[in-house]
Structure formats: structure tokens, C-alpha cells
């Protein structure tokens, strides 16, 4: 991304942003390439934000065919049957995103992302994953980590009024101003697999209950061979049994994962548009920080629950990567 200056057209279009974070940060954004997999409402909000911010390109991966169930939270899909009939989510969202900013190249990649070789991910500066199984998240994160260049990795999930985001920037170096000085900073991140493998007994006492609840639901779907969101209240007993097993293994009181919260995650599998806007906005902000090198990045989980309106950052790391 180094060595290329902004064009006259880019400078004029992004004038306001350049005034906020500077020409160098905008240049980095304009030369960056983003890969996005899983196009539901939260990711649609994210894509809109980074396209308007002026990244170089966005590549979309989602071969699922658009259905009526895709419409409520994803504003990139126009509610006209003749418009999306037979098209995939990636194709329809691609058409809409191109209209937001013609200077950003938006393209579609077909296929199962878990089958893509390590070299495929080298083309990108950030990889964002949603609607993927536990195994796929781990696999794609590891592929990004095998590259010679640093590729930022994010996962994001939204279930009803709750949402979760994970960040892995590997060994991330950046600078920030403190008074009149410029300070060089460095943060080491664990992989997704390393983070969720930290024993629950080793975590701080006040870790978000949503962290534990999401791990229970995630593992239940993995054991049952379900795709994310393929759960219902009929799964309640199976989920409570798994919670009991996990709590016993990790020496955690079951009250830390309330029945009511698990039931909400089981039944509210559709996205809630206001929550999509909040989490998609924060995800966009974090990706822009990582690419531009401006601002303190989030480490490494973010949780939001519309029931109490709170957003929480949790550092779930082993001893070697804890801040």
C-alpha cells in the first residue's frame, strides 16, 4: 500500500475524511483490499461503511440464494422479487454497493471459502467472516496467520438483540499522539482458537455473560452439525445439558450463563436492524483503524446487548498475549 499517492479525484471525494484522519491514512484505505464472507444485516452495514470510507476494493463471498428471509435486516437487498430472483446474496449486495461509491471496486468470489488455499488470502489486508461454523472460523483465521504479511481477521455474529465481534491483528504496531509526543505502540493478539481455548476459570470475574453464552451456543451448533442460527426453543434441553458440562469442566457457576440469555440466543436467530447498525458501525471503525494506523484498536472481543444498551470490550487472551 505504500508509495502511491491519492489521485486528484480521490482527494476531492474524500476531502472531509482527509481533514479528520489525514491524507496518509486515506491513502492507506484507498489502496486496501477487503474480503467479506457471509452477507447478513450486520455485514451489510459494515460493507456500506467501508465502501463510503473509500477502501480500494471489497470482495464478497456468499453463494446462498436470496430469499424473503434475507430481506428484513439487509438493506442492500431491494424488496422486489424480479430484482433478486435466482441471484446469490453476494451478487445482489455487490450491485447495491457499487452505487454507494463508484471509486471502490466491488467484486464477487464464488465457492466455499473453507476450500480456498492460503495464497488466496494474501491478496487482502483484512478478512471479515460471518455466518460461519466454529470450524471454519478457526481454519480461515489460521490460513491468514500463515501468510508472510499481516492480514487482519474479524468474525462477527448477531443474534436478535445480541451481537459479538472478535478481532485478531496478530502482532500489531501503530503510533499515537499523546500531548505533543508520538508514541510507538505494540499489541499482540491471540488467534480465535487460542482465545476461546483460554480456561474459563482463568478469566477475570466480571467477563460478559454473553461471552460464555455464545460459546455454549457455538459449541452446540458445532456438535449437532448445524449452521449458525439453525436453532430453536426445541433445542433448550440439549443446550442446558451442554452448559452444565462446560461449567463443570471449567469450574464455572451455571448462574454465569442465565437460562433466559440462552433462550434468547436460541430463539432470536434473526438479526435486529438497530443492533446490526451498531455492531456494523463499530466493525467498520475497527477495520479502518487497523488499515489506516490511526487510533487504539479493540482487543479482542466486543459484545453488545440491546436489552441493557451496553457495549463491552473483553480481552480474552492467554498469559503470553494479555495486555
What are the backbone dihedrals phi and psi of residue 172, each rounded to the nearest 5 degrees, phi first? Answer: -105, 125
Residue 247, number of CB atoms within 10 A of its CB: 18
pLDDT at 285 over 90: yes
pLDDT digits (tens, 9 = 90+) for 116-148: 999 999 999 999 999 999 999 999 999 999 999
Residues 287 and 33: their CA atoms lie apart, in Å, by 11
Q: For the chain, list the domains and their CATH numbers.
A: 8-194+271-314 (3.40.50.720), 198-267 (no CATH)
Residues 195 and 60: their CA atoms lie apart, in Å, by 26
pTM for this predicted structure: 0.94
Distance of CA 100 to the CA centre of its chain: 21
Measured CA to CA in angstroms, residue 89 lies from 55, 159, 280, 283, 310 at distances of: 21, 19, 17, 20, 31
Query: Can you give the pLDDT at residue 180?
Result: 80
| Beta carbons of 90 and 112 less than 8 angstroms apart | no
Query: Can you give the pLDDT at residue 1?
Result: 45
Sign of CA dihedral 4, 8, 9, 13: positive
Assign residue 309 a region: left if phi > 0, alpha if psi is -120 to 50, beta otherwise? Answer: left
pLDDT at 54 over 50: yes
pLDDT at 52 over 50: yes
Say which range, 11-25, 216-230, 267-281, has the weakest mean pLDDT: 11-25
To 10 degrees, the CA torsion angle through 172, 314, 268, 192? 40
- For 165, the grid coordinates are 465481534
Mean pLDDT confidence for 208-236? 95
pLDDT at 36 over 80: yes
Mean pLDDT confidence for 155-174? 95
More confident residue, 107 or 3: 107
Mean pLDDT confidence for 188-207? 94
* 3-class SS of residue 137: helix
**Which contiguous run of DSSP H or E holds residue 42?**
helix 41-53
More confident residue, 178 or 292: 292
pLDDT at 191 over 60: yes
Closest CA to 20 of 297, 288, 290, 298: 288
Mean pLDDT confidence for 53-76? 91
- What percentage of the chain exceeds 90 in pLDDT? 75
Side-chain-side CA neighbours of residue 199 (13 Å)? 8
More confident residue, 21 or 263: 263
Measured CA to CA in angstroms, residue 188 lies from 14, 174, 177, 191, 268 at distances of: 32, 12, 20, 10, 35
Query: Can you give the pLDDT at residue 321?
Result: 67
Predicted confidence band at 175 (pLDDT cuts at 50, 70, 90)? confident
- For 58, the grid coordinates are 471489497
- For 203, the grid coordinates are 478469566
pLDDT at 13 over 90: no
Residues 243 and 241: their CA atoms lie apart, in Å, by 5
Averaged confidence pLDDT in the chain: 92
Mean pLDDT confidence for 237-249? 97
Residues 105 and 35: their CA atoms lie apart, in Å, by 12
Query: Can you give the pLDDT at residue 268?
Result: 86
Amino acid at each position: 500500500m505504500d508509495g502511491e499517492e491519492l489521485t486528484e479525484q480521490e482527494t476531492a471525494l474524500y476531502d472531509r475524511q482527509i481533514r479528520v484522519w489525514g491524507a496518509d491514512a486515506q491513502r492507506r484505505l484507498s489502496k486496501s483490499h477487503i474480503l467479506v464472507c457471509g452477507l447478513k444485516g450486520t455485514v451489510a452495514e459494515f460493507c456500506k461503511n467501508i465502501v463510503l470510507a473509500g477502501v480500494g476494493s471489497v470482495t464478497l463471498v456468499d453463494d446462498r440464494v436470496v430469499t424473503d428471509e434475507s430481506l428484513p435486516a439487509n438493506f442492500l437487498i431491494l424488496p422486489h422479487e424480479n430484482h433478486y430472483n435466482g441471484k446469490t446474496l453476494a451478487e445482489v449486495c455487490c450491485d447495491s454497493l457499487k452505487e454507494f461509491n463508484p471509486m471502490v471496486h466491488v467484486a464477487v468470489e464464488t465457492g466455499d471459502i473453507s476450500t480456498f488455499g492460503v495464497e488466496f488470502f494474501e491478496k487482502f489486508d483484512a478478512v471479515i467472516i460471518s455466518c460461519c461454523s466454529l470450524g471454519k472460523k478457526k481454519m480461515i483465521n489460521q490460513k491468514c496467520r500463515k501468510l508472510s504479511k499481516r492480514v487482519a481477521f474479524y468474525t462477527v455474529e448477531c443474534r436478535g438483540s445480541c451481537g459479538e465481534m472478535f478481532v485478531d491483528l496478530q502482532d500489531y504496531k501503530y503510533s499515537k499522539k499523546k500531548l505533543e509526543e508520538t508514541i510507538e505502540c505494540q499489541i499482540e493478539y491471540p488467534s480465535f482458537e487460542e482465545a476461546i481455548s483460554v480456561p474459563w476459570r482463568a478469566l477475570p470475574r466480571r467477563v460478559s455473560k454473553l461471552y460464555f453464552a455464545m460459546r455454549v451456543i457455538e459449541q452446540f451448533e458445532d456438535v449437532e452439525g448445524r449452521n449458525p442460527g439453525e436453532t430453536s426453543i426445541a433445542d433448550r434441553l440439549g443446550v442446558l445439558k451442554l452448559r452444565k458440562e462446560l461449567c463443570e469442566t471449567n469450574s464455572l457457576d451455571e448462574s454465569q450463563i442465565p437460562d433466559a440469555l440462552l433462550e434468547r440466543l436460541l430463539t432470536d436467530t434473526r438479526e435486529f436492524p438497530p443492533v446490526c447498525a451498531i455492531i456494523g458501525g463499530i466493525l467498520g471503525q475497527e477495520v479502518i483503524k487497523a488499515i489506516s494506523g490511526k487510533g487504539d484498536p479493540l482487543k479482542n472481543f466486543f459484545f453488545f446487548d440491546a436489552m441493557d444498551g451496553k457495549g463491552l470490550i473483553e480481552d480474552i487472551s492467554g498469559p503470553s498475549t494479555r495486555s
